[in-house]
Amino acid sequence: MERVISGRRPWDSGETIRDSSAYEDLAAAIVLQAVKDYIRDIRKMWNPKLSVRIKRATVLETEELEEFFYSPWYDTLCNIDPGKLVYNCRLRAEEQEKESIRKQNRRKVNRLLKEAAGKDGIPQ
């Protein structure tokens, strides 16, 4: 596991490096899952097909994740600036959404080209 996250460890009371490493891995996994959930929720809010009820629930979940990023517990788990993390998550969500739209458009163009080729009697 890539060690991107580090920080103050309240459990440093003489454990071996291996024990401490397990705590660091757990802290990294907690923050990483929160980041993945945050990016997913941001992208979900951009979906125009979702109902208002689902969007409201997504907004609440996003706010809860932002509260976590600015909480003392997050500060205990890692030392990444929460403002930068939230900003980078939003950028990542935007990049992923743009790529998703590009893929959808490519598939649509390919489908339309195949349909047009079939109607003209041109072999594919």
Report the predicted TM-score, pTM, of the whole model to 2 decimal places.
0.73
Say if residue 20's pLDDT is above 90: no
How many structural domains compose the chain? 1
Is residue 5 included in any domain, yes or no?
no
Is residue 56 included in any domain, yes or no?
yes
Is residue 105 included in any domain, yes or no?
yes
Domain of 77 in residue numbering reads as 17-119
Is residue 30 included in any domain, yes or no?
yes
Is residue 35 included in any domain, yes or no?
yes
Is residue 62 included in any domain, yes or no?
yes
Is residue 11 included in any domain, yes or no?
no
Is residue 10 included in any domain, yes or no?
no
Task: Convert the pLDDT of each residue in 23-74 to its tens digit.
Answer: 899 999 999 999 999 999 999 998 889 899 999 999 999 999 999 999 999 9
Q: Residues, the chain, total?
A: 124
DSSP assignment of the chain equals ---------TT-SS--HHHHHHHHHHHHHHHHHHHHHHHHHHHHHT-TTS-HHHHHHHHHHHHHHHHHHTSHHHHHH--S-HHHHHHHHHHHHHHHHHHHHHHHHHHHHHHHHHHHHHHTT---
For 69, residues 6+ apart whose C-beta sits below 8 A from its C-beta are 34, 38, 82, 85, 86
In terms of average pLDDT, the best of 7-16, 70-79, 115-124 is: 70-79
